[in-house]
Amino acid sequence: MEKRLEYPEFFKLGITIIYAIVIASSIDASKTIFIPFYSIPANLLNATIVFYGYFIIITGWIEYYFHMQKFQDIKKSGLGRFVIDIGILFLFYYIIIAGSNESADYLIPDVYLFVTPLIFLLLTLKDMYRVGNYPNENLLKYRNLSRNFLFVSIIISLSYLAETYATGFQSFGAFAFYRDLIFAFLILTLLVIYRIMRWHEIKKLLQLPE
């Protein structure tokens, strides 16, 4: 695979700028959750959701950097990849707002029901683009891994829906808090496992000859 500058500079620069703007806006929106530090235990659910969002975007950016070290995406997928990245950034910002606004706790269930499955759907689409451009055994594993985790995220979403339905869609109170906290740790664990498995494949990919 030849390392050539085939990915349009406009899209690369655009994504970099948008990443910076969205992350800066997110830090400002979520500062009340982490500052001061002793406020975190009192906002444990919100802090977990916000950390989940930052973990998505930071690890995603690291993975993007390592991919750029190996190869560039070809022009025909530039616009598609750009749109997918914009979608992921929007979902990241949605997670931060859901976790940061303590007066809008009703947004937190959206993270389990819709946002997480949509993120894994977009990650799967990114891998499909990449496989279409560079047929490679490691990239096929990427796609299959993302597709499997998409399936798991849908199961988590349906489980949360079933749980909330069984409790009369209760959104407030001790039971709802601990239920949402459990699901928050569940999706965070899912993403951590996903990234660990991805980085294992990235390490093997970077060891391949150019």
Give the C-alpha separation, 200 to 210, whole Å: 19
AA identity, residue 21:
I
122 half-sphere exposure, CB direction, 13 A CA radius: 20
Q: Which pLDDT band holds residue 160 (cuts at 50, 70, 90)?
A: very high
HSE-CB of 168 using CA atoms within 13 angstroms? 4
**Which residues lie below 8 Å from residue 73, measured CB to CB, with a gap of 6+?**
6, 7, 81, 129, 130, 133
For the stretch 41-67, pLDDT in tens is 778 888 899 999 999 988 888 877 776
Q: Is the pLDDT of residue 189 over 60?
A: yes
Calpha distance 118→88 (Å, rounded): 8
Closest CA to 157 of 125, 186, 128: 186
Which pTM was predicted? Answer: 0.81
Residue in this structure with the two tokens 């990427």, named with its chain if needed: 142
* pLDDT for 6: 47
- Give the model confidence (pLDDT) of 101-144 as tens digits: 766 557 888 999 999 999 999 999 988 887 776 666 766 777 88
Q: Is the pLDDT of residue 4 over 50?
A: no
Give backbone dihedrals phi and psi of 102, rounded to 5 degrees, phi first. -70, -20
As a whole number of angstroms, the distance between CA 53 and CA 56 comes to 5
Domain boundaries, the chain: 9-206
Cβ atoms of 46 and 102 closer than 8 Å = yes
CB 206 within 8 A of CB 66: yes
Collapsing DSSP to helix, strand or coil, 10 comes out as helix
Most confident of 66-70, 140-144, 188-192: 188-192
